[in-house]
Structure 1
């Protein structure tokens, strides 16, 4: 599974939503993800993709859409 598909799968598990056709949805403004979900997201990114993003360095504005999360995952190589 590529990084985009992995991120979309993680987001689907967290929210129950399919973002494959809506990559610019603001996950926080729409109420789909809260602070607990954020921790789960970071844990899953670490577990499935090897990304290490400390919660203390997490900036919501840089992670608020599926497209931005996918970009972070792709840039983390």
Structure 2
């Protein structure tokens, strides 16, 4: 499994919906798939499963809102 697939798997687990693996430009917040509690869980899972720590202060909803955007940001941090 490559990095992008791993990230998408984590997002799908937290959102409890595999649609995020197919609709990579879907706004996770506007669609209701993730909320503030989900955001915290997402950051925890990135640290736990991918060994990438994302400080909550660097998580901006406008730039971390789609699966594609999340993959891009995590690529910068790994």
What TM-score, normalized to structure 2?
A: 0.87
Structure 1 residues 76 and 57: CA distance shift in structure 2, 3 A: closer
* Runs of 5+ unmatched residues, structure 1: none
Question: How high is the TM-score relative to the length of structure 1?
Answer: 0.88
Counterpart residue number, 1:40: 41
Q: Where do 4+ consecutive residues of structure 1 move more than 6 Å?
A: none
Paired residues of 1:51 and 1:73 also in contact (CA < 8 A): yes
Report 1 or 2 for greater relative contact order, CA contacts < 8 Å, sequence distance ≥ 6: 1
Q: How far off its partner does 1:56 sit?
A: 2.0
Q: 1:1-77 alignment to 2 at 5 Å? A: 1-18=1-18, 19-77=20-78
Number of paired residues?
A: 77
